[in-house]
Amino acid sequence: MMMRRRMGRRLVAAAVVGGVAHHAGKASAENAAAEQQQSQQIADLQAQNAQLAQQQAQMAQQPQQPQMQQAAPPQYAPPPAPAAAPAPVAAAPSQDDKLAQLTQLGQLKTAGVLTEEEFEAEKAKILGS
C-alpha cells in the first residue's frame, strides 16, 4: 500500500508540474503572437510613411506650373440707392421727460457708472434739446 500512495503523490505532482508548464507555454505563445502582430503593424506603418515621403519628394521635384488666371467677369456697379425720405421731426421732449432723464443720469453717476465729465456732457445734451 505504501507504493500506491507514493505513486499517487508522484502522479499528482507530475500533473501539477505539467499543468503549470502548459500554462506557462500557452502564455508564452500568446505573448509571442501578440508581439509578432505588433511588429507587423509597425512594419506596415513604416511602409506607409515611406510611401508618403516618396510622394512628397516627387511633388517637390515637379516644377510648379503657374496657374492660368481666368479673366474676371465684368463687374457691374449696383444701382444707386433711392434717396431716403426725410425723417419726421420728433416732438420736443416734455419737462417731465427731461426730469426723468436727469434723475436717471444722477443715479448712474452715484452708482459710479458715469464719471463727472460724462454726467455733465449728457446733462448738457438733455437741457440743450
The pLDDT-based confidence of 1 (bands split at 50, 70, 90) is very low
DSSP string, 9-58: HHHHHHHHHHHHHHHHHHHHHHHHHHHHHHHHHHHHHHHHHHHHHHHHHH
Q: What residue ranges do the domains of the chain occupy?
A: 1-59, 95-128
What span, in angstroms and rounded, lies between the C-alpha atoms of 127 and 122?
A: 9
User: What is the three-class DSSP state of 107?
Assistant: helix
- Indicate if the pLDDT at residue 117 is higher than 90: yes
Q: Which residues contact 92 (CB under 8 A, 6 or more apart)?
A: 129
- Indicate if the pLDDT at residue 105 is higher than 80: yes
> What confidence score (pLDDT) does residue 116 get?
92
**pTM beyond 0.85:** no
Amino acid at 35: E
The pLDDT-based confidence of 107 (bands split at 50, 70, 90) is very high
Q: What is the pLDDT averaged over residues 42-57? A: 86
